[in-house]
């Protein structure tokens, strides 16, 4: 059986000693397009340019810190506790004690979501604006970023799927020679589809739902999807082989619970306000 051999070099090239990678370009594209979506909805909802620009700073810091810290302390705690400088700096310590610029290896989407929520809460407190309407706008754009990130993972031949013999299986020579589910592609396509559905639903039916509905829906759907997709993904770190559920699934369970609780709370509040 013929499979798809995926051999893409992660690095684009080097300039002034800095290595540029497809992952970084795709991550930046995801943030750019998501920012455009947020900006268009911001204008329609009466927020100012200054609020938008300030929000971007808060979110960038929150998402990066959340995603980076979650990866370091949930997936590779022993390594990063021994190399603390590599947690926040894009460097790798070489055996001779020297440091090399390497970019960031490892960002956990669950942590990025938590970091986003915390950053948004701080922003809303400072600027005295309602948390829920803005959270809906950000929730719609979030899957768009997720889709580009997973395409970046695909270019890195990382977060690969489990072994399979399906006709569309990928062989990742940079990982091994086994045919595997292209789990990164599954996730990217799902996130792009989810973004499209949410975008159209928000534009046409927003007034039928309570503020915060889209946030709760995204948290719930992504939590369920992430839990399920892990069944066709290879474990990322060795200690997961001793767990009944892998780390991605364990981190998805709180998302599912939060999504259900939020939906219940929001519709109950809407019902009370309508009486």
Q: Band of the pLDDT at 14, cuts 50, 70, 90?
A: confident
pLDDT value of residue 1:
66
Mean pLDDT of 218-246: 87
Q: What is the pLDDT of residues 27-39, one digit of tens each?
A: 889 989 999 999 9
Q: Is the pLDDT confidence value at 112 over 70?
A: yes
pLDDT value of residue 2:
78
Q: What percent of the chain is predicted at pLDDT more than 70?
A: 96
Q: Is the pLDDT confidence value at 103 over 70?
A: no
DSSP-assigned letter for residue 162: P
Q: Which residues, 6+ apart, have CB-to-CB distance to 85 below 8 Å?
A: 91, 93, 99
pLDDT value of residue 254:
92
Mean pLDDT of 125-141: 93
The structure tokens listed for 253 are: 């369970």
pLDDT value of residue 78:
84
**DSSP labels, 164-182:** ---TT-EE-TTT-SSEE--
Closest CA to 173 of 153, 157, 150: 157
pLDDT greater at residue 62 or residue 103: 62
Q: Is the pLDDT confidence value at 107 over 80?
A: no
Q: How far is Cα 128 from Cα 164, in angstroms, rounded to an integer?
A: 52
The answer to whether 52 and 38 are in contact (CB under 8 A) is yes
Q: Band of the pLDDT at 18, cuts 50, 70, 90?
A: low
Q: Band of the pLDDT at 231, cuts 50, 70, 90?
A: very high
Bridge partners, residue 63, by sequence: none
The structure tokens listed for 138 are: 């950000």
The answer to whether 72 and 59 are in contact (CB under 8 A) is no
pLDDT value of residue 235:
83
Q: What is the pLDDT of residues 27-86, one digit of tens each?
A: 889 989 999 999 999 888 888 888 899 998 998 899 888 888 888 888 888 888 887 877
Q: What is the mean pLDDT of the chain?
A: 88
pLDDT greater at residue 184 or residue 102: 184
pLDDT greater at residue 168 or residue 274: 168
pLDDT greater at residue 109 or residue 190: 190
Q: What is the pLDDT of residues 152-181, one digit of tens each?
A: 999 999 999 999 999 999 999 999 999 999
pLDDT value of residue 17:
64
């Amino acid at each position: 059986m013929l499979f798809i051999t995926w051999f893409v070099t992660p690095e684009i090239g080097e300039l002034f000693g800095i290595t540029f990678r497809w992952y970084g370009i795709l991550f930046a594209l995801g943030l750019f397009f998501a920012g455009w979506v947020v900006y268009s909805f911001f204008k329609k909802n009466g927020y100012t340019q200054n609020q938008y620009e300030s929000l971007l700073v808060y979110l960038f810091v929150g998402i990066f810190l959340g995603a980076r810290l979650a990866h370091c302390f949930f997936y590779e705690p022993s390594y990063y506790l021994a190399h603390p400088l590599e947690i926040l700096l894009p460097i790798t310590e070489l055996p001779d004690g020297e440091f090399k610029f390497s970019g960031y290896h490892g960002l956990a989407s669950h942590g990025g979501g938590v970091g986003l929520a915390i950053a948004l809460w701080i922003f809303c407190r400072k600027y005295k604006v309602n948390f829920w309407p803005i959270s809906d706008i950000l929730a719609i754009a979030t899957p768009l970023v997720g889709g580009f990130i997973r395409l970046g993972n695909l270019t890195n031949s990382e977060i690969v799927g489990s072994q399979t013999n399906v006709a569309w299986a990928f062989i990742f020579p940079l990982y091994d020679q086994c045919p595997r589910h292209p789990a990164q592609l599954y996730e990217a396509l799902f996130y792009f589809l989810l973004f499209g559905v949410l975008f159209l639903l928000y534009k046409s039916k927003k007034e039928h739902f309570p503020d915060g509905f889209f946030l709760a829906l995204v948290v719930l759907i992504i939590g369920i999807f992430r839990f399920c997709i892990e069944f066709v993904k290879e474990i990322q770190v060795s200690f997961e082989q001793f767990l009944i559920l892998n780390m991605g699934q364990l981190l998805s369970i709180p998302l599912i619970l939060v999504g259900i609780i939020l939906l219940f709370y929001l519709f109950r509040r809407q019902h009370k306000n309508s009486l």
